[in-house]
Amino acid sequence: MSPTTAPAAAGTATTEAPVLLDVRGLRVDYGQPGDPLLAVRDVDLQIRRGEVLGIAGESGSGKTTLITALLRLQRPPARTTAGTALLHPRPGQDGPPVDLLTASRRELRALRWERLSVVFQSAMNALNPVHRLESQFIDTLAAHRRMSRTDARAHAHHLLELVGIPASRARSYPHELSGGMRQRATIALALACEPDLVVMDEPTTAVDVVMQRQILAQVQRLQAEFGFAIVFITHDFSLLLEIADRLAIMYGGRIVETGTPAELAGDPRHHYTAGLRDSFPPLRGPLVPLRGIPGSPPDLRTAGIGCSFADRCAGAQEDCRSTVPPLFVEGSRAHACLHPVGTPAPSSPGGRP
């Protein structure tokens, strides 16, 4: 078993695991109501307990807009205009689900850190530059877990060690750490209160591949210990194939395909997914000519009467320009394409067990 695949417990039980967050019909606009940019359109998404959901998509396809809306971290001119995002209670706890999109500030404060946390690309934003690393952990733990400062300090050191930062560095200021260390500290802080869901938006894009590999191995070890679900956003489709249980592919503000890594890599149905897959040259095996996806991203100002990928799609037919493809569900996977990629790739990868 390689060190980089998720523990089997996280990889297998996901289809049966209960739904943690259930997103329906989410829409987010930017700008004036009269002339909006439709950044997220009609997104449905389910996140199950303990799973790694990978979201990939073109730059500008709405990934960050989607998760900042869900976590209620969005700022004007972004506006959520429709949808629900139901966060279900922990197993064994009673009560109705909370709609994150309508929850009050007080309700949200109670959920942050303890049930939901987030890691962005730039760790500097999450860490306060004038406070020692350790005291940021202690403050968070004392406030949300009602720990004594002594217990909180010991727990902080444990968390930092889990991400490979020795206790001797715990009293450092953020600027005294390398970029990779800061990012790992941010991840440890996001996990401090043992949340149910950790959202990571390009958490390793700014670090080196060797460091990235190490951070991911640590995240997976932590996940095995704590069992949280992860939403992992990145443009790096090949990385998601290795770490995710399930993938959602975004294009032009919509989710155009969902499925397992093996399904989407071996037999993509939507033409954008196929193009994305074929944009990454393989490091092993035969080299074949690859084209990428010529053309430009869609204009998000027009509501669009057809498939937003039609201008760039080799498989487009007439109806693609007049009908917005609905989501076709096929068992555990789904796609929004009127004329799906037909022939499976000659050799489909083994993917995750």
Partner 1 sequence: MTSPTDERPTDERSAGRPVPARRADDRPVLAARDVTVHFPTKGGAVHALDGVSLALHRGRTHAVVGESGSGKSTLARTLALVQQPTAGTVELHGAPVEAARRRRQRREFAATVQLVLQDPFSSLNPLHPVRYLLSRPLLLHRPKMPAEQLETEMLQLLERVALVPARRFLDARPHELSGGQRQRVAIARALAVRPDVILGDELISMLDVSLRLEVLNLLATLRDEEGLAMLYITHDIATARYFADEITVLYAGEVVETGSGEDVTQTPAHPYTRLLVESSPDPSPESLAAGPGGDGERPRADAVAAEPPDLISPPSGCRFHPRCPLARPRCAEASPPSVEVDDGHRARCWALTDDEQYQRGSAA
In the complex, least distance from residue 172 CB atom to ligand ATP, rounded to whole angstroms:
20
SS3 labels along 56-119? EECCCCCHHHHHHHHCCCCCCCEEEEEEEEEECCCCCCCCCCEECCCCCHHHHHHHECCCEEEE
Instruction: Check: CB of residue 301 under 8 Å from CB of residue 35.
Output: yes
| Residue of 9, 13, 47, 40 lying closest to 25 (CA atoms) | 40
Q: How many residues does the chain have?
A: 353
Number of residues that bind partner 1 (CB under 8 A): 59
Task: Determine the residue type at 167.
Answer: A
Closest-CA residue to 67 (of 11, 32, 113, 116): 116
**Residue 337 interacts with which of ligand ATP, Mg ion, ligand SF4, none, CB < 5 to 8 Å by class:** ligand SF4
Contact partner, 37, from ligand ATP, partner 1, ligand SF4, none, Cβ < 5-8 Å per class:
ligand ATP
Is 39 a binding residue for ligand ATP by CB under 6 A? The answer is yes
54 and 22 in contact (C-beta within 8 Å)?
A: no
Residue 75: name its binding partner from Mg ion, partner 1, ligand SF4, none (Cβ under 5 to 8 Å by kind): none
276 binds, among ligand ATP, ligand SF4, partner 1, none (CB under 5 to 8 A by kind): partner 1
Q: How far is the CB of 64 from Mg ion (least distance, A)?
A: 3
Residue 32 or 317 with smaller CB distance to ligand ATP: 32
User: What's the rounded Cα separation, in Å, for the pair 33 and 81?
Assistant: 10
Query: Using CB under 5 A as the criterion, what x/- string covers residues 45-84 for binding Mg ion?
Result: ------------------xx--------------------
Q: Is 214 in the site for Mg ion (CB under 5 A)?
A: no
- In the bound state with ligand ATP, the residue whose beta carbon lies nearer, of 248 and 274, is 248
Nearer to partner 1, 114 or 278 (CB): 278
| Residue number with CB closer to partner 1 (120 or 251) | 251
One of 3, 18, 25, 77 touching ligand ATP (CB under 6 A): 77
Angle, CA 126 vertex, CA 4 and CA 66 arms, to 5°: 70
Rounded CA-CA distance 28/41 in Å is 7
Least distance in Å: CB of 249 to ligand SF4?
11
166: contact with partner 1 by CB under 8 A: no
Provide DSSP, 271-332.
HHHHHHHTTS--SSS---------S----TTS--SS-TTGGG-TT--GGGGTSPPPPEEETT
Choose the contact partner of 169 out of partner 1, ligand ATP, ligand SF4, none; CB within 5 to 8 A by kind.
none
What is the longest distance spanned by two Cα atoms in the chain?
Answer: 68
Q: Which residues bind ligand SF4 (CB under 6 A)?
A: 270-271, 307, 309-310, 313, 315-316, 320, 325, 337-339
Q: Per-residue string for binding with ligand ATP, 217-236, x by CB under 6 A? A: ------------------x-
**Cβ partners under 8 Å of residue 161, min gap 6:** 167
Among 111, 274, 293, 300, binds partner 1 (CB under 8 A): 293
* Contacts to Mg ion by CB under 5 A: 63-64
Q: In the complex, which residues of this chain contact ligand ATP (CB under 6 A)? A: 30-31, 37, 39, 57, 59-65, 77, 235, 300
